[in-house]
Chains A and B, each alone.
Chain A
Amino acid sequence: MNRYRKVLAGLLAAAGLSLFVATAKADPPAGAPASLKIAVVAFLSGPASGPFGIPARNAADVWIEKINREGGIGGIKVIPVFTDEAGPADKVVTEFRRLALEEKVAAVVGYISSANCLAVAPVADELKELTVFGDCGTARVFEEGKHAYVFRTNAHTVIDSLGAARYLLAMKPDVKTIAGINQDYAWGRDSWEIFQRSMRQLKPGVQVVDVLWPKIFAGDYSTEISKLLVEKPDVVFTSFWGSDLVTFSRQAKARGLVEQSIVLVNNTGSDIKDIPATVLIGSRGPGPIAPPDVEKDPLHQEFIQLYKAKYGLAPNNYIAHGAYHFTQALQGLKVAYESAIKKAGRWPTTEEVAAALAYSTFDSPAGIIQMAIGNGHQAIEPAPFAVIKQDPAIGAHVFTEIRSFPAACVNPPDGMKSLDWIDRGFPGAKC
């Protein structure tokens, strides 16, 4: 009952707000274009489309509709251009050039694959195209280079695995042995590196008993699971996602691995109905696993309702993190545009929008986002983690034991490389 009342209240609030904005709509600023074209790039095909790409695209769709209902950005209507991120790097870069040079979009939002973010960043600078990365994780983007026109409004991958380490020690302080099973590609390697280095700092005596590297999308993990069953580590850490996580979870459950060891997933993209109860889980940044302050954020509530109304949702309200991240990118763009308009007194240049976005702080469906590191181009976010539990009342999996580590606790300070920060014992971390 309570749930419905909340939803109704949220809907009414949203309707009231949009009415208010619509009536208060002022004349567009001088020099404004007739419309603002924004490209939204996400995986619409391939294995990453189900868990990340499609939800992200859908989220961008409902959020742009909402922005337009409320008068657009700076009074200008936003026109989205949705494209598919799938394909090798040369195709992705060619497509980015087409969006910038032929479609002449004002900004590009998106990119889920880290490889694509790394490939696109220098091109964005070359073409002076404002680009806000939507979901990709690698810390290399801003730690290895400066990009004047590139931003990332979600935290990078360090929060996934450092957060996992901190949560693990909070839930099981006496852990003695850990094992890792990660997909043999960049994200798997990064996740394990950050996790095991963090564990070494946070609990020096912990022993790594095994590190397994199955091929990505291998499909079958029975041999690996047998080995983990033989070794009996206290904790099995994994950075699996999508279909691999689903298969691994099911095989691990069927064979009693989840009863024998604590299974810790650093960043799920999969639906939690497919992941066994008792698994410890994170999901890059608040949103999917919402701590109380984010849960209360009206934008969070509104986003869930809009998404549910247009694309439907499971009863536990779970939306993949890619979806939240794309709304964060759009929200950051909107706030930056509007503050640049206010400052310039006319329609701003790309450089003015970029300056306004750097080191900004804005509200989003995943709570308050701070563009705090990477010269103000990289966001930091808190890292909420939870345990999956079967809730008999709604007959579905839900999150319990939610614990969120503050952004300053799981992100390096501005100007410091992540791995250095971890190896030096997290100087300046505020937990």
Chain B
Amino acid sequence: MRLLLVVLLDGLAYAAWLFLVSAGLTFTYGVLRVLNLAHGNLYALGAYLGATLLLHYAASGSEVAATLGLLLLAAVIIGILAGPLIERVFLRRVYSRDEEVQLLLTFAISLILEDVTKLIWGVTPVVADMPYTSFGSVRLGGISYPWYPFLLVGVALGLAGFLWFVVTHTRLGKVLAAVIADREVSATLGIHVPRVYTFAFTAGAILAALGGALTAPMFSLVPGIGADVLVISFAVIAIGGLGSIGGAAVGSVVVGLARSAAVYFFPELDLFTIYLIMTLVLLFRPQGLFGEIEIRRI
């Protein structure tokens, strides 16, 4: 029983992390129908900048709100710098071309950003784990857990709720839905479609960078962290259904719990859990768990 509780806790913490890192990828795809292969690099940039801000401005005793504020700031800076640049200068020119050209374009950008990260932050690991240690810990199921991962569970829930609210209850959400449903018709209705695209891509970039920034206190940052995250995020959103925020949330929980169970009961399978689930889901539901219902929504 106690073991089950621990498996559940670890699984949920991991699921929260998965959702935070994959939300940006699915959001961008949902609106633009472009799978952003530079997603992992935006994640890495967010992580590095988040760590840098923490190292400079956060003393080890700084408050939860201040820390989260700094990390959010890092994500916004990366998103605002990279998002419009990538969308306006590059992506915009290939919307009319084939899907594989769009993929190649984001692949090229991902290669460039990989080295940009290396040039700025070097190759030695960057560690900024003050929040992880200084937020204290809690005893659950007889063992000690730091608060930080559970804080991320809260942030993930908040983010999911926020995105749901924006999409379903705001004017902006209606505009996005209109653009997704039909570009031309929404343009004739007076929606400035290119601006919506820039906005959506930037929002996706901020989400990607936020995933990274929130991860920074838990991991040490080294070159190459972005590539892994891209593959993991894709698996998560493919399980849930590409473009669906709800799908990403469900995919995260499924993968998170499965992986945690694997570490406890079949440690040799740790590496494969995520791919096994993805293959099974795609075999029986090619559109993902939530793909059919929400394929045209975000």
Quick check: do A and B touch in the complex, using CB within 8 A? yes
* A255:B123 contact, CB within 8 angstroms: no
Residues in A with CB closer than 8 Å to B228 are: 217, 219
* Chain A contacts with B in 242-286, Cβ cutoff 8 A: 242-244, 246-247, 250-251, 253-256, 274
Interface status of A226 (Cβ within 8 A of chain B): yes
Q: Is A140 an interface residue (CB 8 A)?
A: no
Considering only CB atoms, which chain B residue lies closest to A257 in the complex? B144
Point out the residues of chain A lying under 8 angstroms from B17, CB to CB.
Answer: 220
With contacts defined as CB atoms under 8 Å apart, how many contacts are there between chain A and chain B in the complex?
108
Most buried by B among A226, A246, A256: A226
Question: Which residues from A are CB-within-8-Å of B133?
Answer: 250, 253-254
A interface footprint on B139-151 (CB within 8 Å = 1, 0 otherwise): 0011111100100
- Residue-wise, chain B 217-237 has the 8 Å CB interface mask toward A (1 for contact) of 011111111001000000000
Q: Is B111 among interface residues, defined by CB-CB distance under 8 A?
A: no
Tally of B interface residues using CB under 8 Å: 44
Question: A206-248: contact bitstring with B at CB < 8 Å (1 yes, 0 no)?
Answer: 0000111111010110111011011000000000001110110
Q: Which residues of B contact A211 (CB under 8 A)?
A: 267
Complex interface: chain A residues within 8 A of B223 (CB): 45-47
CB < 8 Å neighbour of B222 from A47, A212, A254:
A47
Report the minimal beta-carbon distance from B4 to chain A, rounded to whole angstroms: 11
B10 interface neighbour in A50, A222, A244, A254, Cβ under 8 Å: A222
The answer, yes or no, to whether A174 is at the interface (CB within 8 Å) is no
Chain B residues near A46: list those with CB within 8 A: 123, 223-224
Interface pair A229/B144, CB less than 8 Å apart: yes
Which residues on A sit within 8 Å (CB–CB) of B9? Answer: 226
The interface stretch among B24-32, B68-76, B203-211, B258-266 is B258-266
CB distance from B42 to the nearest CB of A (A): 17
- Whether the pair B143, A226 counts as a contact (CB closer than 8 A) is yes
Complex Cα gap A260–B11 (Å)? 23
B2, B142, B222, B263: the one within 8 Å of A223 (CB): B263
Contact with A along B1-40 (1 / 0, CB 8 A): 0110010011101100100000000000000000000000
User: Which residues on B sit within 8 Å (CB–CB) of A246?
Assistant: 125, 127, 220
In the complex formed, the residue of A with least CB distance to B118 is A45
- Closest residue to A255 on the B side, CB-wise? B144
User: If the complex has contacts A50-B125, A226-B9, A243-B125, are A217 and B224 also in contact, measured as CB distance less than 8 A?
Assistant: yes
Chain A residue with the shortest CB-CB distance to B264: A227
A370 within 8 A of B: no
CB contacts (< 8 Å) of B145 on chain A: these are: 226, 255
Name the CB-closest residue of A to B17: A220
> B96 interface residue, CB < 8 Å from A?
no
Closest chain-B Cβ to A257's Cβ sits at a distance in Å of 9
Q: Could you tell me the distance between the alpha carbons of A214 and B273 in the complex, rounded to whole angstroms?
A: 12
B263 touches A256 (CB 8 A): no
A351 within 8 Å of B (CB atoms): no
Q: Is the CB of B267 within 8 A of A47?
A: no
List residues of chain B with CB within 8 A of the CB of A45: 118, 123, 223
Answer yes or no: A184 CB below 8 A from chain B CBs: yes
Q: Please, which residues of chain B bring their CB within 8 A of the CB of A242?
A: 125, 222
Which one of A213, A223, A230 contacts B268 once the chains associate, using CB atoms below 8 Å? A213
Say yes or no for A153: interface residue by CB 8 A criterion.
no
B132 sits at the interface (CB 8 A)? yes
Contact assessment for A213 and B270 in the assembled complex, using a CB-CB cutoff below 8 Å: yes
Contact A50 B263 (CB under 8 A): no
Closest-CB distance, A251 to chain B (whole angstroms): 7
B267 touches A230 (CB 8 A): no
Contact A254 B6 (CB under 8 A): no
Complex contact A213–B267 (CB within 8 A):
yes
CA distance A246 to B51 in the complex (A): 15
**Contact B127–A250 (Cβ < 8 Å):** yes
Q: Are A230 and B6 in contact (CB under 8 A)?
A: yes
Residues in A with CB closer than 8 Å to B259 are 223
B87 at the interface (CB under 8 A from A): no
**Cβ of A219: which chain B residues have Cβ within 8 Å of it?**
215, 218-220, 225, 228
Q: Which residues, 81 to 134 on B, are CB-close (under 8 Å) to A?
A: 118, 122-125, 127, 129, 132-133
- Compute how far the CA of A424 lies from the CA of B11 in the bound complex, rounded to whole angstroms: 43
CA distance A184 to B223 in the complex (A): 19
Determine if A157 is an interface residue (Cβ-Cβ < 8 Å): no
Query: Is there a chain B Cβ closer than 8 Å to A191's Cβ?
Result: no
B293 at the interface (CB under 8 A from A): no
Contact B13 A222 (CB under 8 A): yes
Bound Cα distance from A255 to B125, whole angstroms: 21
Complex Cα distance A247/B125, Å?
9
Contact with B along A78-118 (1 / 0, CB 8 A): 00000000000000000000000000000000000000000
Q: Is A49 an interface residue (CB 8 A)?
A: yes
Q: Which residue of A lies closest to B135 (CB)?
A: A254
- Which residues of B are found within 8 Å of A255, using beta-carbon distances? 137, 143-146
A contact residues around B3 at 8 Å (CB) = 230
How many whole Å from B6's CB to the nearest CB in chain A?
5
Q: Which of A50, A253, A254 contacts B123 (CB 8 A)?
A: A50
- State whether B222 touches A222 (Cβ < 8 A): no
User: Given that A50-B125, A220-B218, A242-B222 are contacting pairs, would A254 and B137 also be in contact in the complex, using a CB cutoff of 8 Å?
Assistant: yes
- Per-position binary interface string of chain A over residues 13-47, scored 1 when its CB falls under 8 Å from any chain B CB and 0 otherwise: 00000000000000000000000000000000111
Chain B residues whose C-beta falls within 8 Å of the C-beta of A49 in the assembled complex:
123
Interface residues of B in 240-288 (CB under 8 A from A): 259-260, 263-264, 267-268, 270-271
Chain B residue numbers with a CB within 8 Å of A244 are: 220
Expressed in whole angstroms, the Cα–Cα distance for A298 and B188 within the complex equals: 83
Contacts of A230 in B (CB 8 A): 2-3, 6, 141-143
Chain A residues contacting B118 (CB-CB under 8 Å) are: 45
Distance to closest chain B CB from A219 (angstroms): 4
Q: A243-B220, A247-B220 are in contact. Are A223 and B10 (CB under 8 A)?
A: yes
Assuming the contacts A223-B10, A243-B125, A246-B127, asked whether A47 and B224 have C-beta atoms less than 8 A apart, the reply is yes
B222 in contact with A250 (CB, 8 Å)? no
16 A–B contacts from the bound complex (CB under 8 Å): A184-B271, A212-B267, A219-B219, A220-B218, A223-B10, A223-B11, A223-B259, A223-B260, A223-B264, A226-B145, A229-B143, A230-B143, A253-B133, A255-B144, A255-B145, A255-B146
- Nearest 5 interchain pairs by C-beta: A243-B125, A50-B124, A219-B219, A229-B143, A223-B10
Other than the known A229-B143, A230-B141, what 19 A-B pairs have Cβ atoms closer than 8 Å?
Answer: A45-B118, A47-B224, A50-B222, A184-B270, A212-B263, A213-B267, A219-B220, A220-B218, A223-B10, A227-B264, A229-B144, A243-B125, A243-B222, A250-B220, A251-B132, A254-B146, A255-B143, A255-B144, A256-B144
